[in-house]
């Protein structure tokens, strides 16, 4: 088993070095070693403790905005205390040195951007690399107005406990909501278009820490494969993509990615 794993790491590393066009798709597993809970882990995944339909749908927000806000404020507090791990840092260095790499993430925790900030001081190259991080499911530290186009990102603690008024738009007074994608909502058009184009053009897709159950994100690796590209999967547990992977690396992301992407 160890031999097979080493062989997969070597093969995938060489293929990633040679490929023109890399699409990286990440999910909650890439942040697990930073202390951010995943969604579907049977023991401590968010969806084993909370019901998505009560907390992460437009209907739940209409029904009980206070409950939804308190849940997001709690998650923001937890995530604000987390730092990028070795996997985020390896991916940040990849984006900084290769302009043909695009990272598409389902995560809303901001840790890919935080890793870029840690790896390189502000520069044109750093800004360019940030522009190649596409957020498919939004950003938990951003709020947006449900009435006008107001949007703002800030990491301050939200005061949404009972007795506090819920956040309102400073421009029009409308209700503010977390700027994340909820179940039943469309993905942000430009991120999805960018991700789809990148998936079709990439010679290799590196999928890290996603259960590959939520579409359209989970369809992107198959798009790369359908265009003749290859697939590397980093995940300790098998997923619906595993049988299609050219290389499957059953290791935690923080262990595998520095080896896979080390320059």
Binding-site member from 12, 16, 21, 29 for ligand OAD (CB under 6 A): 29
For residues 75 and 205, what is the distance between their CA atoms, to the nearest angstrom?
A: 30
State which of positions 74-113 bind ligand OAD (CB under 6 A): 106
Which residue, 48 or 226, has its beta carbon nearer to ligand OAD? 48
Query: Nearest approach, Cβ of 165 to ligand OAD (angstroms)?
Result: 26
- 13, 75, 76, 137: which one contacts ligand OAD (CB under 6 A)? 137
Residue in this structure with the two tokens 């937890």, named with its chain if needed: 78
User: Using CB under 6 A, which residues numbered 226 to 245 contact ligand OAD?
Assistant: 234-237, 239
Q: 139 near 179, Cβ under 8 Å?
A: yes
Structure tokens at 88: 């985020």
Minimum Å gap between C-beta 174 and ligand OAD is 23
**Residue that the structure tokens 């190259």 belong to:** 125
28 is a contact residue toward ligand OAD (CB under 6 A): yes
Element at 6 (helix H, strand E)? helix 2-18
Site string for ligand OAD, 31-50 (x = CB under 6 A): -xx----xxx----x-----
Among positive and negative, which fits the CA dihedral 204, 140, 250, 51?
negative
CB closer to ligand OAD, 169 vs 187: 187
88 is catalytic: no
Length of the chain: 263
State how far the alpha carbon of 77 is from the alpha carbons of 10, 71, 125, in Å: 39, 10, 31
Q: Name the residue nearer to ligand OAD (CB basis): 38 or 60.
A: 38
Nearer to ligand OAD, 63 or 171 (CB): 63
235-244's contacts with Cβ under 8 Å and 24+ in sequence apart are 235/29, 235/207, 235/208, 235/209, 235/210, 236/29, 239/210, 239/211, 239/212, 239/213, 240/212, 240/213, 241/207, 241/212
Task: Name the catalytic one among 112, 113, 137, 164.
Answer: 137
Q: Does 214 bind ligand OAD (CB under 6 A)?
A: yes
In the complex, which residues of this chain contact ligand OAD (CB under 6 A)?
27-29, 32-33, 38-40, 45, 56, 106, 137, 181, 209-211, 213-214, 234-237, 239, 252-253
Residues with a catalytic annotation lie at 137
């Amino acid at each position: 088993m160890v031999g097979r794993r080493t062989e997969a790491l070597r093969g995938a590393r060489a293929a990633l070095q040679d490929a023109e066009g890399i699409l990286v798709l990440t999910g909650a597993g890439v942040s697990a070693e930073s202390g951010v809970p995943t969604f579907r882990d049977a023991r401590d995944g968010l969806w084993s403790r909370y019901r998505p339909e009560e907390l992460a749908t437009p209907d739940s927000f209409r029904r009980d905005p206070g409950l939804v806000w308190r849940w997001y404020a709690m998650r923001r507090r937890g995530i604000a205390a987390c730092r990028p791990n070795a996997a985020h840092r390896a991916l940040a260095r990849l984006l900084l040195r290769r302009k043909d790499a695009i990272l598409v993430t389902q995560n809303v925790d901001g840790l890919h951007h935080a890793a870029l900030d840690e790896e390189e001081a502000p520069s044109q190259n750093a800004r360019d690399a940030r522009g190649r991080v596409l957020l498919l499911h939004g950003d938990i530290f951003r709020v947006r107005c449900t009435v006008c186009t107001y949007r703002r990102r800030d990491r301050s603690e939200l005061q949404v406990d009972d007795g506090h008024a819920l956040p309102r738009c400073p421009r029009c007074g409308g209700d503010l909501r977390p700027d994340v994608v909820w179940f039943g909502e469309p993905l942000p058009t430009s991120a999805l278009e960018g991700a789809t184009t990148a998936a079709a053009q990439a010679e290799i897709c590196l999928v890290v820490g996603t259960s590959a159950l939520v579409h359209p994100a989970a369809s992107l690796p198959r798009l790369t494969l359908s265009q003749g590209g290859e697939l590397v999967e980093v995940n300790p547990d098998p997923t619906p993509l595993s049988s299609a992977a050219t290389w499957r690396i059953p290791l935690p992301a923080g262990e595998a990615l520095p080896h896979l992407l080390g320059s």
